[in-house]
Amino acid sequence: MQKSDENRKVDDSPARSRGRPRAFDREAALAQATRLFWIKGFEATSIADLTEAMGIGSPSLYAAFGSKEALYAEALRHYREDNEALVWAGFFSAGTAREAVKSLLMDSAAVLTGCVVDIPRGCMVTLSSVGSEGYVELGKLVRAARTVTLDRLKLRLNQAISGGEIPVSTDVHALARFIQTVQNGMSILARDGASRSELEAVAELAMLGWDTRTADAERGQG
């Protein structure tokens, strides 16, 4: 038995063998950083803000996360892991595309207004403007995260076509764009203080035209 190889925790554990262990909870610190980035944005959040909220010194921050940009990238990942399940669970468990989309919008209404758990308003990915500030890598990251919504919507709609739920003639891309637009718009309303019930009303109004939008016939009549 190759003891030295099999006993070492290669991937799961940090694999640190000797020396002083980290004194702070990395996950808790990351959660604080995520919250701060979420509320204030990347540029407006300073290292001083972060170290204060995380309860650590700046050398510890850099030792644990590398740089401010790398910390933001990890905060983004942490955010998506924590919150996308809240928004997408109903979408993936729904039996029809119609119910999936409605779940997505209704759950978004609840999560975006901070009604499910105590989190800031609006979507960190949607409202991030880090791409327009000259941070190229972070911009790519955020934009890639944004396309996930569109991809999932198109995939589900195509499945609905295959299953016969909606007609083959449905413009999947346009319909997915529409749903994405509504969800994005709800983020902005949530940030500006709109209530959960207001966003739910918006979601229901968006769903009201579903049958018309998924009908075969003429589209551009208005």
Q: Kindly list the residues in this chain that would bind its own copies in the complex (CB under 8 A).
A: 39-41, 43-44, 98, 102, 126-127, 129, 132-134, 143, 146, 171, 173-175, 177-178, 180-189, 191-192, 194, 198, 201-202, 204-213, 219-220, 222
- The nearest distance, CB 61 to DNA, in angstroms, is 7
Q: Is 47 in the site for DNA (CB under 7 A)?
A: yes
Residue whose CB is less far from its own copies, 22 or 40: 40
Among 12, 13, 19, 192, indicate the residue that binds DNA (CB under 7 A): 19
- Find which of its own copies, DNA, none residue 49 binds, CB within 5 to 8 Å per kind: DNA
What tokens were used for 12?
A: 């799961």
Cβ(69)–Cβ(137) below 8 Å: yes
Sequence-distant (≥ 6) Cβ neighbours of residue 114 within 8 angstroms: 120, 121
* Residue 46 contacts which entry, its own copies, DNA, none (Cβ below 5-8 A, type-dependent): DNA
Q: Which residue stretch of 22-30, 108-116, 159-167, 178-186 sits at the interface with DNA (rule: CB under 7 A)?
A: 22-30
The tokens for 222 are 């208005």
**The pair of three-digit structure tokens given for residue 76, joined into one six-digit string:** 């983004």
In whole angstroms, how far apart are CA 113 and each of 55, 109, 191? 27, 6, 8
| Footprint of DNA on 98-117 (CB under 7 A) | none
Q: Work out whether 22 is an interface residue with DNA (CB under 7 A).
A: yes
Token pair recorded at residue 9:
């925790």
The H or E element containing residue 85 is helix 68-93
Look at residue 210 and give the partner it binds from its own copies, DNA, none, a contact being a CB closer than 5 to 8 Å depending on partner kind.
its own copies
Among its own copies, DNA, none, what does residue 28 contact (CB within 5–8 Å per kind)? none
* Structure tokens belonging to residue 13: 């554990």
Between CA 84 and CA 86 the distance in angstroms is: 5
R_g (Cα) of the chain, nearest Å: 21
> In the complex with DNA, which residue's Cβ is closer, 60 or 158?
60
Structure tokens at 170: 């449905």
* Residues near DNA (CB under 7 A): 16-24, 43, 45-49, 56-64, 67-69
